[in-house]
């Protein structure tokens, strides 16, 4: 019985790159980047709707690029890791 309790008390060392329980995954900068991406997507759809033309320059070329940039910004915000300061 003494062997089993000592095995329970023995902890395995943490490997590098594992998460700690108290570290937040998203920081304030992640949320700001997500809001920026959401704003870009909203502006792109609004611009597309304002021109109200199927073959217009803005609704055909500019607005889709802004929307794509917004989605890429959100992906970047999700994948960005916070810098670890110890």
Domain ranges in the chain?
25-81
Site of tokens 């889709």: 64
Is the pLDDT assigned to residue 10 strictly greater than 80? Answer: no
pLDDT in tens, 61-79: 999 999 999 999 999 999 9
pLDDT in tens, 14-43: 566 665 566 778 889 999 999 999 999 999
* Per-residue tokens: 6: 């000592």
User: What angle, 0 to 180 degrees and rounded to 10, lies between the N-to-C axes of helices 28-51 and 63-79?
Assistant: 170
Which runs of consecutive H residues, i.e. helices, occur in 1-86? 2-9, 28-51, 57, 63-79
């Amino acid at each position: 019985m003494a062997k089993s309790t000592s095995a329970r008390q023995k902890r395995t060392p943490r490997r590098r790159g594992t998460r700690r329980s108290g570290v937040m995954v998203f920081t304030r900068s992640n949320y700001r980047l997500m809001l920026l991406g959401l704003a870009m997507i909203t502006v792109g759809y609004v611009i597309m709707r304002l021109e109200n033309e199927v073959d217009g320059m803005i609704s055909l070329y500019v607005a889709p690029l802004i929307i794509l940039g917004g989605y890429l910004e959100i992906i970047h915000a999700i994948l960005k890791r916070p810098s670890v300061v110890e």
